[in-house]
Every structure is written in C-alpha cells, then in structure tokens.
C-alpha cells in the first residue's frame, strides 16, 4: 500500500509542477508584454521619441530657412550698393551731394 501512495503522490507532484510551470510562463509573458509597452525601449517610449524627432526636424527646416535668409541679407549688406545706400540713408541719415532734405517737425498744440 505504501507503493501505491508513493505513486499517487508522484502523480500529484507532476500535476503541481506542471501548474507551476504554466504559472511561471504566464508571469514571464506578462512581464515581457509590460516591458514591450512600458519599458525604456518600449512601444510607448518609441512613439514619443518619433514625435520628438519629427518636431526637431521641423524646427531644423525652419532654422535652415532663417539661416538662408540671413546669409542672403549679409551678402547684400557686403556687396550690394543699393542695399548699403538704403541702410546708410535710413540709419545714418546720409544724403547724396546735391539732394535736399526736408524735415517735418510736428508741433504739439497745448491747451491753456
């Protein structure tokens, strides 16, 4: 009778071992799924990184356009006589020889 009990316990032990292996496999699967979605290199973080990358690329395009505009302006200020003359007239008040300058002075009407 002892042998039967031992074989019965061995069968029960195998069933418990099988259940534990299934439970362990389920836990590992849950961990891997959580890592896939929530981990440092997970799906959600990858989407955030892609969005940030798109925003930065858009900003780079805008900055490249601004740089091109500024380089064009610098080139004009260094080499274009019309641009240089316009800036000298505007900022320094320079005039060509023989030109007349009219200054308009606004008077403030004070009420006494």
- Estimate the share of the chain in helix, then strand, then coil, as percent rounded to the nearest 5: 75, 0, 25
Q: Which two tokens stand for residue 50?
A: 């892609």
The residue extents of the domains of the chain are 1-38, 41-93
CA distance 66 to 59: 11
Query: CB-based contacts of 26: which residues, under 8 Å, 6+ apart?
Result: none
On whether the CB atoms of residues 95 and 89 are closer than 8 A, the answer is: yes
* pLDDT-based confidence at residue 75 (cuts at 50, 70, 90): very high
Q: If you average pLDDT over every residue of the chain, what do you get?
A: 85
| 29-57 confidence digits (pLDDT tens) | 988 888 877 777 777 788 888 999 999 99
Mean pLDDT of 14-34: 87
How far from each other are the two terminal CA atoms of the chain, in whole angstroms?
Answer: 128
Range of 27-31, 40-44, 61-65, 92-96 with top mean pLDDT: 61-65
pLDDT of residue 41: 75
CA distance 31 to 25: 10
* pLDDT-based confidence at residue 1 (cuts at 50, 70, 90): very low
């Amino acid at each position: 009778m002892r042998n039967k009990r031992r074989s019965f316990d061995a069968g029960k032990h195998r069933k418990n071992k099988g259940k534990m292996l299934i439970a362990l496999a389920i836990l590992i699967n849950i961990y891997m799924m959580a890592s896939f979605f929530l981990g440092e290199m997970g799906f959600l973080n990858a989407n955030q990184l892609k969005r940030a990358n798109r925003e930065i690329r858009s900003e780079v395009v805008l900055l490249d356009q601004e740089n091109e505009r500024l380089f064009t302006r610098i080139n004009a200020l260094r080499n274009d006589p019309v641009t240089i003359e316009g800036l000298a007239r505007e900022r320094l008040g320079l005039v060509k020889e023989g030109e007349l300058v009219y200054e308009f002075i606004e008077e403030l009407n004070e009420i006494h």
